[in-house]
Chains A and B, each alone.
Chain A
Amino acid sequence: MFSAVHASIRRTVPAGLKNPLPVDDESLIAGGKLYLNDCVGCHGAPGKPTSDFGATFYPPAPQLARDGTRYSEAQIYWVAKHGIRRTGMSAQGPYYSDQKLWLLAGFISRITTLPPRVRAGIEEKTH
């Protein structure tokens, strides 16, 4: 299933699709805050134990904070926007602007290699 999903996403995501936003500490922190609000419940928080809730899906939700991802930024953007059928990953397109989806994609593609400044930044004032 993994390889079928991966192949399908590789095939579907347009080759020229690129993050239009600059990726710097500020955008990574913004993306990180979005992630901590809405994705951690299933995908786990950086520096924390993996998500028990994510483990109760079939297939289980990947623990992004621990394992990172092999998908490119554009592919992450596409997955977040359109979801993955027959999994717990629903499409977030109806709820997030393109800008927010790109902020998330920038953050998630670097989630296991965040600079300390970004790690500290996303913890500040998260609601």
Chain B
Amino acid sequence: MRTFLLGFIAALVLLPVCALGYFRLGVAETRSDANPPAWETSVMQSAVHASVRRSAAGIHASPPGSLDDAIVEGGRLYLNGCAGCHGTPGKPSEDLSSYPRVPQLPQVGTQYSEPEIYWIIKHGIRNTAMSAYGPFYTDKEMWALASFLRRIDHLPPGVLEGSKAKQGGGGSSN
């Protein structure tokens, strides 16, 4: 029993010392142009997903006047502000430079619900390249984006054409 306790205490001390050494000596890799290992992606993604689910639980979508219009408007905002990192619908794309990798949404879609997507856009995701857009978009714009993103890999016909046609219309019209 005594040996067990001593071992337990030694481990408690050793663990932080090793962690500190690992970071202080610069052994932790920093470059972002490498593929994250599958276990890391899976652990981190499920942690983020669980946290977003918890944070966005009380949020309910404000019903838009017309869902079709909101999706088209969301598409316009997406093409202007998100496609640079997340990919353009219909064009093959791959992110090789951010760590974790930026999801190429037109190809992979999303499992998040609309309130969760709205929450992510507004607040961003820490320790990723996803910054918070709350200061730059109105609530209405973020809900429109969420409506579009929820359906980005199975868009109703005509949506993308509508979004592209509106694209010349400028920055942040409501």
Q: Which residues from chain A sit less than 8 Å from chain B, CB to CB?
A: 3-12, 52-53, 56-59, 81-95
CB contacts (< 8 Å) of B26 on chain A: these are: 4, 6-12
Q: Dominant SS at the B interface?
A: loop
Say how far A49's CB is from chain B's closest CB, in angstroms. Answer: 14
Task: Look across to chain B and name the residue whose beta carbon is closest to the beta carbon of A86.
Answer: B127
CB contacts (< 8 Å) of A91 on chain B: these are: 31-33, 96-98
12 cross-chain CB contacts under 8 A: A4-B24, A12-B31, A56-B124, A56-B131, A57-B129, A83-B31, A85-B34, A85-B100, A89-B32, A89-B129, A90-B98, A91-B33
Q: Mark B33-64, 1 if CB is under 8 A from A, else 0.
A: 11010000000000000000000000000000
Within the assembled complex, what's the spacing in Å between the Cα atoms of A6 and B134? Answer: 31
Chain B residues within 8 Å of chain A by Cβ, number? 30
CB contacts (< 8 Å) of A90 on chain B: these are: 32, 97-99, 129
Say how far A53's CB is from chain B's closest CB, in angstroms. Answer: 7
Say how far B42's CB is from chain A's closest CB, in angstroms. Answer: 16
Say how far A96's CB is from chain B's closest CB, in angstroms. Answer: 11
CB contacts (< 8 Å) of B34 on chain A: these are: 85
Task: Look across to chain B and name the residue whose beta carbon is closest to the beta carbon of A6.
Answer: B26
Interchain residue pairs A-B with the least CB separation, the first 4: A83-B32, A7-B26, A11-B26, A85-B99
Q: Which residues from chain B sit less than 8 Å from chain A, CB to CB?
A: 23-34, 36, 96-100, 124-129, 131-136
Q: Is the CB of B127 within 8 A of A11?
A: no
Task: Look across to chain A and name the residue whose beta carbon is closest to the beta carbon of B85.
Answer: A90
CB contacts (< 8 Å) of B135 on chain A: these are: 52, 56
CB contacts (< 8 Å) of B131 on chain A: these are: 53, 56-58, 88
Give the contacting residue for A93; candidates B25, B30, B33; CB below 8 A.
Answer: B33
CB contacts (< 8 Å) of A7 on chain B: these are: 23-26
Whether A12 touches B129, Cβ cut-off 8 Å, given contacts A4-B23, A90-B98, is no
Task: Look across to chain A and name the residue whose beta carbon is closest to the beta carbon of B102.
Answer: A90
Q: Is the CB of A83 within 8 A of B33?
A: yes
CB contacts (< 8 Å) of B97 on chain A: these are: 83, 90-95
Give the contacting residue for B98; candidates A10, A53, A83; CB below 8 A.
Answer: A83
Give the contacting residue for B129; candidates A5, A88, A92; CB below 8 A.
Answer: A88
